Amino acid sequence: MKTRLIPWLRTEKNCIWLASVAVSKSARQINDWMLRRKNRRTRQLDGSLTGKAGNKVQAIAIRAMYEWMDRIPPGDSIVFRCESADPERQFKVWKRWILRHNWDLQPDIDEELKSFFFYKPRGIE
């Protein structure tokens, strides 16, 4: 399993970061998927949703998101997008998981785009 955080949209002062989570038996397959190589390993990972990891994946992703929230500058945000083989099902699972287990940060949930936005507020000066 690998998690990554990349700058997605930049403005003058802020940035929206795109968070990704990939699960596979092979590190090469995950690396090919993250670099968007055009090969069989990438297509297989794009087409798969289910795995043997279960809820462990969501827990690791939420922990990684908390670490990223500490590292990004105030005013930036992190977005989780559901882009698996079955985005409806993935969105439903992630929404239930995030609303039950995420007590500190309340996300802005976009049902149409199947995305979760976590905003790090600026400190009051």
pLDDT, tens digit, 9 for 90 and up, residues 10-51: 888 888 888 877 777 777 877 777 777 888 777 777 666 555
Q: Return d(Cα 23, Cα 59) in angstroms, integer.
A: 13
pLDDT of residue 52: 52
**Which comes out higher in pLDDT, residue 86 or 53?**
86
| pLDDT for residue 9 is more than 70 | yes
pLDDT of residue 125: 36
pTM score of the predicted model: 0.71
Residue 62 amino acid letter: I
**Which residue ranges make up each domain of the chain?**
2-22+53-119
In this predicted model, what pLDDT tens digit does every residue of 49-75 receive, in sequence order?
Answer: 555 556 677 777 778 888 888 888 888
Both structure tokens of 118? 């976590």
Nearest CA to 29 out of 40, 19, 21, 20 is that of 40
